[in-house]
Amino acid sequence: MSRIQVDRELVRKVADLAQLSLSDSEIGLYQERLSKVLSYVEQLDSVHESLGQDWRPDTARGTLESSTPERPDVVVVSLPVEEAMRQAPARIGTAFQVPRIIE
Amino acid sequence: MTVNLTVKSIVQQIRAGSLTPTAVAEAYLQRTKTIAQKLNTHLHLDEAAALTEAKGSAQRIKEIGADRLPLAGVPILIKDNICVRGSKTTCGSKILENYVATYDATVIKRLRDAGAFVLGKLNMDEFAMGSSNENSAFGPVRNPWNLDYVPGGSSGGSAAAVAARLAPVALGSDTGGSIRQPASFCGIVGLKPTYGTVSRFGLVAFGSSLDQIGPLTCNVEDAAMVMDVLTGQDANDSTSVQHPHGGFAKALANDSEGLKGKTVGIPEEFFDSGLDPEVGACLERAIADVQKAGAKIKRVRLPNISYSVAAYYVIATAEASANLARFDGIRYGYRTKENGVSLKELYRKTRSEGFGQEVKQRIMLGTFVLSSGYYDAFYAKANKVRELISRDFAAAFDSGVDLLLTPTSPTPPFKLGEKLSDPLAMYLSDICTIGVNLAGLPGISVPCGRTKSGLPVGMQLIAPKFNEQTLLTGAHAYERATEWHKDQPAI
Amino acid sequence: MNAPQNGTKTSRPSEAPVNKSQESTVLDRYEPVIGLEVHCQLKTKTKLFCGCSTSFGAMPNHNTCPICLGHPGVLPVLNREVVNFAIRFALAVEANIHETSVFARKQYFYPDLPKGYQITQFDLPYCTGGKMMLASGKAVRLMRAHIEEDAGKNVHGDESSYVDLNRAGVPLIEIVSEADIRNPEDAADYLKRLRSLVRSLDICDGNLEEGSFRCDANISIRPRGQEKFGTRCEIKNLNSFRNIERAIKYEILRQADLLDHGEKVLQQTMLFDAASGKTQAMRSKEESHDYRYFPEPDLLPLRINAVRVEEQRKVLPELPEAMASRFQEQHGLSPYDAAVLTSDKDLANFYEAVVKRVAGAVTEKIVANWVTSEYLREANNRSWDFINPPITSNHLGELIELIGKGVISGRIAKTLFEEMAEKGPGNGPKALVQEQGLVQVSDTSEIRNVINKVLDDNPGQLTEYLGGRDKLFGFFVGQTMKVSGGKMNPQLVNDVLKELLDARRKV
């Protein structure tokens, strides 16, 4: 069993965050599977890493000398709007249509 | 005819004038028509498009000259998560079932510029999530060696197609073993390059810090030829690296040493009791063959490798959960058919209806490990463990080892349906390949034997970062010393 | 305006504007604590991570590509000029530029966010610290600034909303102040100066109406003397400086009223309704967002080294503070006038253009007076901008030059200016002066004649003046001006009048 309590409430909460809707039986299924996988990955807890205070995964990428590549500020011709809109499941004019957003 | 063609032989014959791209395409298409359905390798087979591509190749040959085109006239099958403009790019998913790519992936441009052409798009595990190609929304792919068995995944379509000689080469993608493991299950060669060596621009992202595109071929030399064209920094991919690349085919041709004098490391952790005995037997023989070819064997340890699957599943699913957030039915792709839904319902129904179960599960896991309060314990921690694993590999290489040798998969190919009920069982079948992605190293799988029932077993070689040359010359030397690559399934 | 009744928790200060005395008692008892966040669109030619144009006003989705549309398989590549602009900002506010900073994904679902996440900077922004000086002399510390991409735009219909992604991917810097501000006037001043700064740096248009400069305010109050901060609310959608002040004032009173009734201030996001002058909690139930930040795997860390910072320092334009100092030192302007003129880059440029045109006919101080009083008054009333105003720097310069050369009096010039502001510049001040016969009289003998007649025509006042009522000097000046239609050189009138009066005394 995972030390994190994977209950139906948690599964629903995560599904909400991920914009997935689950049926009752799916919630049960995912609860079981997530619980199993989570208890497996929890073994990472027991790894003692001696990487030091200053080592961070995000800043350790690339090298100190090289920064993320940059491109010049020169306009590149955009996609023709018909191309941009061609596969829109719903549109009005050249805008994508969605149900009314309530602010 | 096609069963005897290779990338190398096609280029030679094109240059000699005894073959044209169209003739090549037709030959492969003919074979595809009779076989592909049995295997379910192909998605949206479009003959007309393929022949148009072949004509494009012929035009290039005419303009530039076949001698200046390293892959002149070579047809390539493309895993369906790589964008080919004007062509459906479904990623094996219902949520993109009718999506047509609006641009070409960089690798496609490079292949065409080298004289090759796109022959078709291949089935795969949905969004590259899977190790058996049973997670496709368009049906599973079958292993050409035995149709009741899986071809491996997620590049199952790529491996099965090449093994069945439906093309001399296919592109796949590898995040945790998705090129190497299916290559091993299908008895062919599959290479995952060093992270950053091949542009990811146009590869639909799964685990952004892990994904690489690579070739699946019938032999090592073909893989080297294709790698020459694929590799090199791309301004469109900020994670692609400026590093000496290419010249692999030439290096192979000029190499006389092979494995002589090389030290091949055997990581203990991959040869423990968890290994299937038949796989173990094949690997034992492979190790002996490697020694016979002149290499020294050395036992090494990768102390943190047992955590690789856990670390991988945290990192890959976390990145994937964000990468798949764009699939919402608003700008392209599948949208729920239900009417009168609210915005929230639009998102939820579209995504729940459009994604398959494995994808949803991984999105959930990835969402959870990044959620408030869990980031440090999971994602941050997993990346630290990842660093430890990288250092383990580096230490092993630093101890005088040129290549590491492991099984590609702890088990031989399994039957369709056999591992579907237990998510962990499926994940654990990646245990030999995952660490290589975590460390960003290049790895290749070559066939090294068969089980008693005739199913292929593969051996993995791993080299230090940017050492594809060592990898390819080592694999080539092993290939020359053995005959496994000459076998084909009787399909 | 009804004061809340004792014991009734349902009363609220329900209307704005508020009663000044109520406002002041609130401020006696509570101290507002205000922090400001500004999203500044950088005026680069292309977006942050793709080569699409950032031009404003294009038809929906005409400035998009697979990258900013969030198509599968695309990857971001950073715009060099964005980093340069960001560095310039940091230099101008004396922030600490970090050698290594990291981009991150901020995840949430919204139709104007094509990837389902925004690429921003989270725990390692490119700069922290820095400060902005206010007119009052107070320094407002900056917490941080970071680079991020803008979202697209949603337009709402009745049953549907429409998504335009032209703006998606446009580069922003988000500038966050510390909660150092203690009153709404300082808040407005901070924002005006920040806007002026980014316009001087030429990195942002600073156009609130078009949305290239967007302000959010975080406000809490605490009883005076209390150290602990109160609960803060965020007000979004503040699209003019006036509304910012109004919104903050209202919010302070709203929070004070809650606390006065023993209620708690809830942490909420508010919108300001300009029509009613009130802040209102946003309708959607405010579930606190879990943005699940993690470092952007498709980008490497941003490394800014000292060489690059120096390169940007060299190309910094003259900043408002430096310009204000120069105006004080070289033009002899007062700190107040210098501050007013440099509060807007275009106004400062306008002023300097007028100075140039006047070419020394009057002092800069006089030009500054004209610009800050006459000109600014008309400009504000008539909503002129200082780039292409109807009365140009050339016109104003010409007018002031006429004063300097003694062609017209200052008073006539003012009248003429008002007329030009109302009716248009016509053929210019010189021509108008000729057409209307406004050239002032500087002929001493003519002035002498007129004044003598005035003195003769007012014997009573003359006797009183000579008897010691010095005040009547002004009366004689006034009469002279009246008779001459204001067209006499005032200085000369003064001198001649004095001379003639003294002469009469001797008689």
pLDDT tens-digit series, residues B41-70: 999 889 999 999 999 999 999 999 999 999
Would you call B226 helix, strand, or coil by DSSP? helix
pLDDT exceeds cutoff 70 at C206:
yes
Does B351 contact A98 at a Cβ distance shorter than 8 Å? no
Band (pLDDT 50/70/90 cuts) for residue C213 is: very high
The pLDDT, as a whole number, for residue C15 is: 47
**Residue B260's CB: how many other CB atoms inside 10 A?**
11
Residues of B tagged active-site: 79, 154, 178
Could you tell me which of B490, B44, B476, B43 has the C-alpha nearest to residue B217?
Answer: B476
Mean pLDDT of chain B: 96
Helix, strand or coil for residue B252?
Answer: helix
- Inspect the interface and report whether the beta carbons of A47 and B385 lie closer than 8 Å: yes
CA nearest A79 in B: which residue?
Answer: B102
User: How many separate domains does chain A show?
Assistant: 1
Is 50 exceeded by the pLDDT of residue C9?
no
Q: Indicate the pLDDT class of residue A18, thresholds 50, 70 and 90.
A: very high
pLDDT for residue C11 = 42
Dump pLDDT digits (tens) for B164-180.
Answer: 999 999 999 999 999 99
Residue B219 CB coordination number (10 Å): 21
Range with the poorest average pLDDT among B249-258, B418-427, C196-205: B418-427
Q: How far is B338 from chain C (nearest CA, A)?
A: 15
**Could you tell me if C66 lies within 8 Å of chain B, comparing CB atoms?**
yes
CB spacing of A78 vs C65 below 8 angstroms: yes
Residue B372 located in a structural domain: no
| Structural domain contains residue B426 | no
Residue A3 lies in a domain: no
Query: Which residue, C144, C99, C149, is CA-closest to C125?
Result: C144
Give the mean model confidence (pLDDT) for residues C440-468: 87
For residue B88, the chain A residue with the least C-alpha distance is: A87
- Averaged pLDDT score across all residues of chain C: 90
CB of C102 within 8 Å of any CB in chain B? no
Return the number of other C-beta atoms located less than 10 Å from residue A13's C-beta.
Answer: 15
- The encoded tokens of residue C361 equal 């006919």
Measured between CB atoms, does A37 come within 8 Å of chain B?
Answer: yes
Q: What are the tens digits of pLDDT across the range B189-220? A: 999 999 999 999 999 999 999 999 999 999 99
A3 and C CB contact within 8 Å: no
Residue A34 has pLDDT above 80, yes or no: yes
Structural domains of chain C in order of their starting residue, each with its CATH number? 30-303 (no CATH), 320-436 (no CATH), 444-506 (1.10.10.410)
Yes or no, beta carbons of B99 and C115 under 8 Å apart: no
pLDDT at res. C3: 42
Q: Considering only CB atoms, which chain B residues are within 8 Å of C109? A: 325, 328, 347
Range of the domain at A25: 8-45
Interface contact C71, partner B, CB < 8 A: yes
Which residue in C66, C117, C165 is closest to B102 by CB distance? C66
pLDDT at C136 (0 to 100): 80
* C-beta of residue C44 within 8 angstroms of C-beta of residue C79: yes
- pLDDT, residue C13, reads 46
Parallel, antiparallel, or unpaired: how do β-strands C139-149 and C131-133 relate? antiparallel
A32: domain CATH number? 1.10.20
Chains near B, with 3+ CB pairs < 8 A? A, C
In a domain, B133, yes or no: yes
Neighbours of A51 (CB within 10 A): 15
Number of domains comprising chain B: 1
Q: Is A82 inside a domain boundary? A: no
Could you give the angle at which helices A24-41 and B308-323 cross, rounded to 10 degrees?
140
B103 reaches C (C-beta below 8 A)? yes
pLDDT in tens, C310-336: 999 999 998 888 899 999 999 999 999
pLDDT for C440 equals 79
Please judge whether B89 and C73 are an interchain contact, meaning their C-beta atoms are less than 8 angstroms apart.
yes
In-domain check, residue A88: no
pLDDT recorded at residue A48: 84
What span, in angstroms and rounded, lies between the C-alpha atoms of A46 and C47?
44
Q: Between A and C, how many residue pairs show a Cβ–Cβ distance under 8 A? A: 135
Residue C19 is predicted with a pLDDT of 61
Q: C79–A76: do the CB atoms touch at under 8 Å?
A: no
Mutation target to probe the B interface, by most B beta carbons within 10 A, among C71, C159, C165 is C71
Q: Using CB atoms, which chains have 3+ pairs under 8 A with A?
A: B, C
Mean pLDDT of B327-336: 97
A12 is a domain residue: yes
Burial class (CB in 10 A: 0-12, 13-18, 19+), C137: exposed
Residues of chain A contacting C300 with CB distance shorter than 8 Å: 61-62, 66-69
pLDDT digits (tens, 9 = 90+) for C402-433: 999 888 888 889 989 999 999 988 889 999 98
Find the CB nearest B239 among C73, C107, C300: C300
Tell me phi and psi for residue C75, to 5 degrees. -140, 150
pLDDT value of residue C22: 66
Summarised one tens digit per residue, pLDDT across range C76-87 is: 999 999 999 999
Helix (H) or strand (E) holding C124: none
Q: Which residue of B has its CA nearest to A68?
A: B238
Q: Do residues B352 and B401 lie in contact, with contact meaning Cβ atoms separated by under 8 Å? A: no
Q: Measured between CB atoms, which of A37, A60, A96 is closest to B423? A: A37
Q: Tell me the C-alpha to C-alpha distance, in Å, between residue C467 and each of B148, C311, C456, C457, C479.
A: 129, 75, 16, 17, 19
ipTM of the prediction: 0.96
Interface of A with C in 14-43 (CB under 8 A): 17, 19
Contact A66 C100 (CB under 8 A): no
In a domain, A14, yes or no: yes
Sequential DSSP letters for C249-272 = HHHHHHHHHHHHTTPPPP--EEEE
Long-range contacts of C128-132 (CB under 8 A, 24+ apart): C128/C95, C128/C96, C128/C98, C129/C94, C129/C95, C129/C96, C130/C90, C130/C93, C130/C94, C130/C95, C130/C96, C131/C93, C131/C94, C132/C93, C132/C177, C132/C190, C132/C193, C132/C194, C132/C197
pLDDT at position B363, please?
A: 97
B67: in domain: yes
Decide if B297 touches A, using CB distance below 8 A: no
Chain C interface test: which of A54, A79, A82, A91 (most C C-beta within 10 Å)? A79
Q: What is the pLDDT of residue C5?
A: 40
Q: Is residue A81 part of a domain?
A: no
Q: For C244-258, what is each residue's pLDDT tens digit?
A: 999 999 999 999 999
The distance in angstroms from the start CA to the end CA of chain B is 14
For residue A46, give both structure tokens. 């027991």
Helix or strand or coil: residue B429? coil
**pLDDT: which is higher, B329 or B424:** B329
User: Are B330 and C71 an interchain contact pair (Cβ–Cβ within 8 Å)?
Assistant: no
Cβ distance A79 to C53 less than 8 Å, yes or no, reads no
Question: Residue B299 pLDDT > 80, yes or no?
Answer: yes
Of B335, B371, B427, the CB nearest to A89: B335
Mean pLDDT, rounded, for B466-473: 96
> Is C161 an interface residue toward B (CB < 8 Å)?
yes
**Per-residue model confidence as pLDDT tens digits over B132-152:** 999 999 999 999 999 999 999
- CA-nearest residue to C70 within chain B is B326
Residue B405: its H or E element: strand B403-407
Range of the domain at B146: 2-257
Q: Are C219 and C49 in contact (CB under 8 A)?
A: no
Angle in degrees, CA B478, B483, B489, rounded to 5: 125
CA distance B268 to B385: 19
At residue C289, the pLDDT reads 83
Whether B117 shows a pLDDT value over 60: the answer reads: yes
DSSP letter at B105 equals -
This prediction's pTM: 0.89
Q: What is the reported pLDDT for B425?
A: 81
Q: Is the pLDDT of residue A103 over 80?
A: no
Could you tell me how far CA B225 lies from the centroid of its own chain? 16
Give the distance from residue B340's alpha carbon to the nearest chain A alpha carbon, in angstroms.
Answer: 8
Interface of A with C in 44-83 (CB under 8 A): 57-59, 61-62, 64-76, 78-79, 81
Note whether C49 contacts B: Cβ–Cβ < 8 A: no
Residues of C in contact with A67 (CB under 8 A): 300-304
Interface test with A, best of C162, C282, C286, C311 (most A CBs within 10 A): C162
B424–C contact, CB cutoff 8 A: no
**For C140-156, what is the mean pLDDT?**
97
In the predicted model, is pLDDT for residue C444 greater than 90?
no
Q: For position B147, which CATH number holds?
A: 3.90.1300.10
Q: Do C66 and B103 touch (CB under 8 A)?
A: yes
Q: Average pLDDT, stretch B334-355?
A: 95
Asked if B375 is an interface residue toward chain C (Cβ–Cβ < 8 A), one would say: yes
